[in-house]
């Protein structure tokens, strides 16, 4: 997948809303870099160069998995999520390095397919997500057989004569070294934006020197007013497909003068498809407390048992929901966190509710659909502050 600059969206306005318009987009399979602030030069696979100029330029080159190149053998023997889905053979015994949602999702389904899977985490899992939820996510994974090496960081990967990979790591708390052998090492330590080959300096587009991401304002405008950046390549944006799609659409509409709506990056719902799915929208409990102060935040929560788990005798210790609200009536909902089967499907509708400015009371007045997991959201009666047992019993 060569990086491309979704480029000349210039004079002919494309909202991309009707299928017929797709034919009016010229597609170049070339690797683009800036020549100046209105011109990009594209190089095709055969080395042929094409010069393109446009009034407006949108950068949407995304990101690629990061290789920890400082680790011996990382590049030679490791793979990333770019490869895992295309492997011709089963990865076998796998070490997943990282604590991002990519790491946990991959480790989850590999374990689910019956592979011996270990996740090595340097500090905390799912940084940026609600930490109580993220520890429940990993707790469930551990109960399903995924091994976790916490507080560890790999130092080298070597190939043994039998073809297996020998990984050496350091335990950061004890300082001791340890090693293990794996068939596959999957790096999931983060993604880097595809900005280096764009020659952004020639156009004068500023990036964050640390993250290499492009700095943008609320209008998705870069430091150059007619150059925009959307999606994973832009600084401070959630790396989510539907967010990028909507940001792109709204940008096109603004460029064409159809509307002045800017993308609302708050209340973006998302779901981590770990073995027990985790859906969330709005603020994490930590973020809510940081923004509003603990005394102004009320958290309602419950452990519940999905009906399907009962007959199957599955453990539901981690099926958990919490709703983070302002404490002051009418207790505006700030965030919803749902851990359980079909979390994505459950979260979507509630995301709308939060967008509509739902209050705790309104959600509680919603009649449940029985028997579903989602109905438990409308039955959250116990606040953390009360100290009562949040375990749901009975129907």
Which residues participate in catalysis according to the annotation? Answer: 370
Give how many residues touch other proteins by CB under 8 A. Answer: 53
15 belongs to the binding site for other proteins (CB under 8 A)? no
Contact between 16 and other proteins per CB under 8 A: no
Q: Kindly tell me which of 76 and 261 has the beta carbon lying closer to other proteins.
A: 261
Contact 5, 27 (CB under 8 A): no
| CB burial string 210-244: b at 16+ within 10 A, e below | eebbbbbeeebbbebebbbbbbbbbbebebbeebb
Under 8 Å between Cβ of 190 and 98 = yes
Give yes or no for residue 268 binding other proteins (CB under 8 A): yes
**Which residue, 142 or 378, has its beta carbon nearer to other proteins?**
378
Q: How far is the CB of 270 from other proteins (least distance, A)?
A: 6
Q: How many residues does the chain have?
A: 395
Q: How far is the CB of 18 from other proteins (least distance, A)?
A: 8
Shortest Å, Cβ 342 to other proteins: 5
Q: Which 3 state secondary structure label does DSSP give 80?
A: strand
CB 63 within 8 A of CB 192: yes
70 binds other proteins (CB under 8 A): no
Residue 308 contacts other proteins per CB under 8 A: yes
* Element holding 179 (H helix, E strand): strand 177-182
Distance from C-alpha of 314 to C-alpha of 158, rounded to nearest angstrom: 40
In the list 374, 380, 382, 390, the residue contacting other proteins (rule: CB under 8 A) is 374
Contacting other proteins within 311-330 (CB under 8 A): 311
Backbone phi, then psi, for 247, in 5-degree steps? -60, -40
Closest by CA position to 299, among listed 335, 282, 324: 324
Determine, following the binding rule CB under 8 A, whether residue 258 of this chain makes contact with other proteins.
no
Q: Is 386 in the site for other proteins (CB under 8 A)?
A: no
Residues that bind other proteins (CB under 8 A): 17, 19, 113, 240-243, 246, 261, 264, 268-271, 279, 307-308, 310-311, 341-342, 344-353, 355-358, 362-363, 365-375, 377-378, 393-395
């Amino acid at each position: 997948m060569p990086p491309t600059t979704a480029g000349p969206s210039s004079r002919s306005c494309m909202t991309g809303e009707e299928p017929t318009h797709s034919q009016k987009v010229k597609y170049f399979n070339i690797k683009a870099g800036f020549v100046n602030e209105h011109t990009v030069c594209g190089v095709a696979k055969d080395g042929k160069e094409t010069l393109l100029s446009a009034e407006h330029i949108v950068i949407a080159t995304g990101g690629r998995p990061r290789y920890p190149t400082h680790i011996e053998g990382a590049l030679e023997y490791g793979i990333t999520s770019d490869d895992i889905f295309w492997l011709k053979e089963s990865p076998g015994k796998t070490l997943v390095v990282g604590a991002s949602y990519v790491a946990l999702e991959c480790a989850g389904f590999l374990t689910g397919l019956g592979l011996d899977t270990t996740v090595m985490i340097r500090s905390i899992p799912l940084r940026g997500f609600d930490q109580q939820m993220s520890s429940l996510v990993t707790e469930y994974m551990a109960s399903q057989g995924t091994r976790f090496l916490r507080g560890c960081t790999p130092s080298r990967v070597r190939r043994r004569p039998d073809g297996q990979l020998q990984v050496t790591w350091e335990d950061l708390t004890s300082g001791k070294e340890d090693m293990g052998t794996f068939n596959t090492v999957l790096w999931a330590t983060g993604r880097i934006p595809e900005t280096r080959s764009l020659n952004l300096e020639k156009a004068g587009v500023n990036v964050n020197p640390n993250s290499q991401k492009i700095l943008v304002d609320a209008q998705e405008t870069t430091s150059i007013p007619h150059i925009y950046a959307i999606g994973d390549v832009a600084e401070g944006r959630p790396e989510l497909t539907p967010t990028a799609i909507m940001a792109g659409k709204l940008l096109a509409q603004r460029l064409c003068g159809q509307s002045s709506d800017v993308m609302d990056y708050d209340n973006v719902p998302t779901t981590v498809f770990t073995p027990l799915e985790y859906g969330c929208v709005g603020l994490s409990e930590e973020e809510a407390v940081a923004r509003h102060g603990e005394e102004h935040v009320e958290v309602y929560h419950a452990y519940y048992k999905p009906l399907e788990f009962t007959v199957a005798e599955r453990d539901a210790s981690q099926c958990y929901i919490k709703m983070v609200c302002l404490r002051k009536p009418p207790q505006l909902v700030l965030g919803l966190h749902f851990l359980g089967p079909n979390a994505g499907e459950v979260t979507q509708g509630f995301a709308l509710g939060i967008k509509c400015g739902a209050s705790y009371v309104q959600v509680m007045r919603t009649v449940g659909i029985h028997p579903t997991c989602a109905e438990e959201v409308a039955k959250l009666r116990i606040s953390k502050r009360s100290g009562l047992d949040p375990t749901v019993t009975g129907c």
